[in-house]
Structure 1
Amino acid sequence: MNLSPHRTGDPAHADLAGLLPPPAVPDLTPHREQRLKAALLSRADDVERTAVRRPARRPRLIRVLAPAVACALAIGVAVTFDGADTPHAGNVPAVASPEAARLLDRIALAAGEGTRPPLRADQFVYVESKVAYGSQSAGGGPVTLPPVHTRQVWLSADGTRPGLLREEGGPDSPLGADAPARRTVRELAELPTDPEALLALIRKETGGGDGAPGADPDQRAFAAIGDLLMETWAPPRVSAALYRAAGRIPGVVVVPAATDALGRHGVAVARTSHGQQTQWVFDPVTLVFLGERTVLTESGDAGPTGTVVGTSAILTRAAVDRAGETPRS
């Protein structure tokens, strides 16, 4: 699919987000909405927090190879790798677009009204998704996107038990109980629910203020929030705060039409960094998070504008008793 008609900054898309139907939130009267907004703006009181940690990461493709990666490719291995710190793209707005901020506020309201079943400390968060991530051969050239495959991950609720990562076509990968790759459910619940405070915490813990040459601190923050939304069990109030925090990141825009890895159509909130746009895809009616997609916004060796280099779709998020166990249908 050619995504070039939906590139960041196209003035023809101004205010299209305002045309979207309202989220399916029953009986959300003006009074109730005001109460909900007030609740979502409350701040967690003096909570001790550890560093922002991500679940077993999905690979993110970048075009510029680091020396270590170049050495790996020199022996003819096709790889995927992380691109959270790709160089900052030029002409990025100083704030998120008004359309994106409004849409994320509506998504936050819908998320804040959601419920999830109780999760015991001895259980696991199970997330099943369909994914495909592109790779580039040693000699460069166009990115190759393999067929979509199933990804399953089991994460210990309290972080004390080994988890498991299972990807179709590959061996199981144990996830160490002490791996510093993610927050526990309890730690997620202790995150501040004030979006400004939450964004400041994420920026601090992802090195957003280090000023490293070539780094894009705003993209780091956007990617970190996406990871927290993708494979975690965040309470509704925290999910709502994460969406509102994303609405305060410069360069975040609305893509009116996007699809996830299953081809489900939705509206996306996106950010572009160094020729790639990361899109979070939502159902246009319920505003439920569907998945993530990354597309090229500049033509080059990796492919033409609009090339999809990564895609995912969330299928199931549930609580189970053991790693390797799937929810009962």
Structure 2
Amino acid sequence: MNDLIATLAAEDPARAVTPSAAEAARMDETLRRLLADASPAAADDRRLGPADDPRLGAAGAPPAGAAADPRLGAAGTPRTGAADGRSRRRAAAPRPSRAPRRRAWALVPVALGTLALSLGVAVPGGKTPAVIAPQPASAATVLAELRGKAATATVPNGRYAYQKQLAYVSHMRGSTGTGGRFVVVLPHELEQWVDADGNAVGKEVIHEDQATFPTPEDEAAYERLGEGPPPYQSGPYRIRDFKVAGLTVPEVAQLPTDPTALRSALERGQLALLPATAQLLASPIASAQLKAALFSVLKSLPGARLVPSAQDLQGRAGVGVEFEDDAWRTLFLFDPDTGALLGTRSIGKQEVPGRTISDWWLVVDATRTDTAPKTAR
């Protein structure tokens, strides 16, 4: 769209002087050429190529249900979400899918060869303008809009990057000898304070007393088994060489902000592309420029689906973009006003035979502060 506007402005003889007949004719010819693929006939013109935009696709996701769950950006000893440790995600390469053909813009012509854009391109000759209406919202258009919000976001000051996360992790418990296997969902609360050198302080709570269950059968099995472990709560602990998305703080600062180069760098990293992108988008360590580039990375992936209205487990409403592969369906939930990532929902289709597993990871707070807890170790 920006290329179209720039070309029209360059060809517009009315920018400074009244156009001659030859200049006006040249303007008309430019308009015909630029708008040819917006006409109904052009949508099926093989010479122009497909009119649809590439859509998003899914990549695999990291292990779930651990204190070092890559979705949480935690450091320390991993703790598997399943009792048998089998709750582990498979990384899968994105699989492109072909979207239905559709035009990028709908043109309603009133007079051939004339056009008025809402962005202020002048029309010579005083002719009645055509009307250009934007396409319906799609995952790509929403990601582009959120990218603009992220690029201009105000970054707070403070010595420490502070983040509070809440993950609703599915734990597999029970055994065939004790009445069968069942799933219990426990909230994992994690706070982190990280300085510019990568030294960090962390706190973690696992709320066994706030257990929920995917089905009544899971709850009944949990109650038959008796009381589970007591809630786990750590005191403040020190994290050296803190990592987010498998990257140290200096490495995050060195990531390229060119979307193509950034995608290549992330694909060479420790995590699959989608969870790495989610962690960086949520982290106060990442700059506004890096987050804008991350939106471009998401926009470049094929197969995403727009979820115009979604809500997380805290009742926060946002706009969603969903990715899917054979094993996982992952929803990114964004604040439509700021572009901030509110969290992700991951639905595993192969974690437990015959059923799906749904985990939420929420960003409760992400800012900067000048204070951090004292640690005993």
Which TM-score bucket, shorter chain as reference? 0.5 to 0.7
What is the rounded CA distance, in whole Å, between the counterparts of 1:150 and 1:243 in structure 2?
A: 26
C-alpha deviation, 1:88, in angstroms = 5.9
Shift in Å at residue 162 of structure 1? 4.2
1:163 aligns with 2:226: no
Does residue 318 of structure 2 align to residue 266 of structure 1?
yes
Q: How much does 1:195 deviate?
A: 0.7
Residue identity in the other structure for 1:261 = L
Contact persistence 1:258–1:265 (CA under 8 A): yes
Equivalent residues of 2:201, 2:372 under 8 A apart = yes
Alignment correspondent of 1:144: 184
Matches of residues 117-136 of structure 1 in structure 2 within 5 Å?
117-119=156-158, 123-136=159-172
Contact 1:279 1:293 in 2 (8 A): yes
User: What code does the residue aligned with 1:195 have?
Assistant: P
Q: Does 1:190 align with 2:254?
A: yes
Q: Deviation of residue 200 (structure 1)? A: 1.1
- Unmatched segments (≥5 aa) in structure 2: 7-66, 72-78, 105-137, 207-230
- Residue 281 of structure 1 deviates from its aligned partner by 0.3
RMSD: 3.7
Q: Tell me the distance in 1 between the aligned counterparts of 2:150 and 2:281.
A: 11
Alpha carbons of 1:289 and 1:138: their partners in 2 closer, same or farther (altered >3 Å)?
Answer: same
3-state SS, counterpart of residue 101 of structure 1 = helix
Q: Compute the displacement of 1:109 (Å).
A: 0.4
**Superposition deviation, residue 94 in structure 1:** 6.6
CA separation of 1:288 and 1:162: change in aligned 2, threshold 3 A: closer
Deviation at 1:229, TM superposition (A): 1.7
Contact kept, 8 Å, 1:266 with 1:282, in 2: the verdict is yes
Number of paired residues? 237
Mapped pair 1:111 → 2:115? no
RCO comparison, higher one (Cα < 8 Å, 6+): 1
CA contact (8 A) 2:309 2:320 kept: yes
TM-score under structure 1 length normalisation: 0.60
CA distance in 2, matches of 1:201, 1:153: 25
Tell me what 1:210 maps to. Answer: none
1:277 lines up with 2:316 in the alignment: no
**1:59/1:80 contact within 8 Å kept:** no
Q: Kindly, what percent of the aligned residue pairs are identical? A: 24
**Whose Rg is larger?**
2
Deviations 1:267-306 (CA, angstroms, capped at 9, x unpaired) = 21221133321111012444332111112468973635xx
Higher strand proportion: 2
Moved over 6 A (4+): none
Q: Which amino acid aligns with 1:93?
A: S
Q: In structure 1, how many angstroms separate the alpha carbons of the residues matched to 2:162 and 2:243?
A: 18
Shift of 1:199: 0.5
Report the residue type matching 1:124 in the other structure.
Answer: Y
